[in-house]
């Protein structure tokens, strides 16, 4: 799957390697550790890289990031559950998916726990992604994305109550799945909050999918119209004409009733 490049071959691309990995313990640091890496690049040149890592990893991944979607079987409405919280490295609040560190349990169990703690919602796990890295230029921290479905009609989800830890000040935000991108941009503009890239990428993906669906629908209507007899009305206009006819008949009936009185 790797494409060849004029300046380096696939074999040299695979030759880059770490030569030395040295911890840089800093006094007073509990959750993070700095490391100094010595490595050789694809051309065989020695280089140095600085990175940080979490000290809390207990299994194959550091954290879970949750994609929770509320589904209402009565209305068909779908909403995405987001959270906002103050992030000291940013100096402001950030719009994020619910997330948290994996403790002794697996990723699925951690997602259920974190969703309940941060939002109060009770969900069902639909899919657990492979392990993905978070910011490969800075850290080896990784996570899994857990897609969860929340039944809006379930008793526990009618009035969800978060169970926040001491020092957590989290606000829940609900955005419509079909209009997530526009609503997210509006929220960012209104609050001046930062946004996590996972949230922005997902929202943008939804926007692209919606636009492509609209284009496919438009193309299908154009193809359908091509087979209509000359002078025939396109099906897309029928609901509008039906509504206008209904309004006309309703207005006429209203005038007739008024005249009887």
Choice between 226 and 154, residue whose per-residue pLDDT is larger: 154
Q: What single DSSP character describes residue 160?
A: -
Pairing of strands 124-128, 99-101: unpaired
Q: Which pLDDT score, from 0 to 100, does residue 11 have?
A: 56
Segment 220-244 mean pLDDT: 52
What is the percent of the chain with per-residue pLDDT over 70, rounded to a whole number? 77
pLDDT tens-digit map of 189-228: 999 999 999 999 999 999 998 888 877 776 666 665 565 5
| Residue-averaged pLDDT of the chain | 84
pLDDT category at 25 given cuts 50, 70, 90 is confident
Q: Which two tokens stand for residue 191?
A: 């609050």
Per-residue CA distances from 20 to 17, 35, 116, 243 (Å): 9, 10, 42, 74
Q: Please give the torsion angle defined by the CA atoms of residues 160, 69, 174 and 211, in that order, rounded to the nearest 10 degrees.
A: -170
Per-residue CA distances from 24 to 34, 38, 69 (Å): 5, 13, 41
Q: Which pLDDT score, from 0 to 100, does residue 242 have?
A: 45
Q: Which pLDDT score, from 0 to 100, does residue 245 have?
A: 42
- Tell me the pTM: 0.77
The CA radius of gyration of the chain, in Å to the nearest whole number, is 27
Q: What angle do CA 62, 65, 71 make, to 5 degrees?
A: 155
Q: Which pLDDT score, from 0 to 100, does residue 131 have?
A: 96
> Does residue 145 contact residue 132 with C-beta atoms inside 8 Å?
yes
pLDDT at 238 > cutoff 50 = no
Give the whole-angstrom CA distance, residue 70 versus residue 160: 12
Q: Which pLDDT score, from 0 to 100, does residue 215 have?
A: 77
Per-residue CA distances from 79 to 69, 202, 222 (Å): 5, 13, 32
Q: Name 132's Cβ contacts closer than 8 Å, sequence gap at least 6.
A: 142, 143, 144, 145
pLDDT tens-digit map of 50-89: 999 999 998 899 999 999 999 999 999 999 999 999 999 9
Give the whole-angstrom CA distance, residue 146 versus residue 68: 8
Give the whole-angstrom CA distance, residue 147 versus residue 185: 23
Residues in the chain: 261
pLDDT tens-digit map of 98-135: 999 998 888 999 999 999 999 999 999 999 999 999 99
């Amino acid at each position: 799957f790797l494409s060849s490049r004029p300046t380096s071959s696939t074999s040299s691309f695979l030759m880059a390697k770490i030569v030395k990995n040295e911890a840089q313990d800093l006094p007073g640091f509990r959750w993070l550790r700095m490391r100094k890496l010595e490595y050789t690049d694809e051309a065989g040149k020695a280089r140095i890289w600085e990175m940080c890592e979490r000290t809390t990893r207990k299994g194959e991944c550091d954290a879970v990031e949750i994609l929770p979607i509320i589904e209402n079987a009565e209305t068909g409405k779908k909403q995405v559950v987001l959270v906002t919280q103050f992030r000291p490295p940013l100096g402001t609040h950030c719009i994020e998916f619910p997330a948290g560190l994996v403790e002794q349990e697996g990723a699925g169990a951690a997602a259920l726990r974190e969703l309940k703690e941060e939002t109060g919602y009770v969900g069902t796990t639909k899919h657990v992604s492979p392990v993905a890295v978070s910011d490969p230029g800075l850290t080896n921290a990784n996570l899994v994305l857990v897609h969860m479905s929340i039944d809006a009609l379930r008793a526990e989800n009618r009035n969800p109550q978060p169970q926040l830890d001491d020092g957590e000040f989290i606000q829940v935000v609900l955005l419509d799945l079909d209009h997530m991108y526009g609503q997210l941009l509006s929220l960012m503009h209104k609050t001046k909050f930062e946004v996590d890239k996972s949230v922005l990428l997902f929202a943008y993906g939804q926007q692209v999918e919606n636009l492509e669906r609209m284009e496919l629908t438009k193309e299908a209507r154009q193809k359908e119209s091509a087979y209509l007899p000359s002078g025939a009305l396109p099906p897309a206009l029928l609901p509008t004409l039906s509504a206008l006819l209904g309004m006309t008949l309703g207005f006429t009936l209203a005038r007739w009733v008024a005249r009887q009185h």
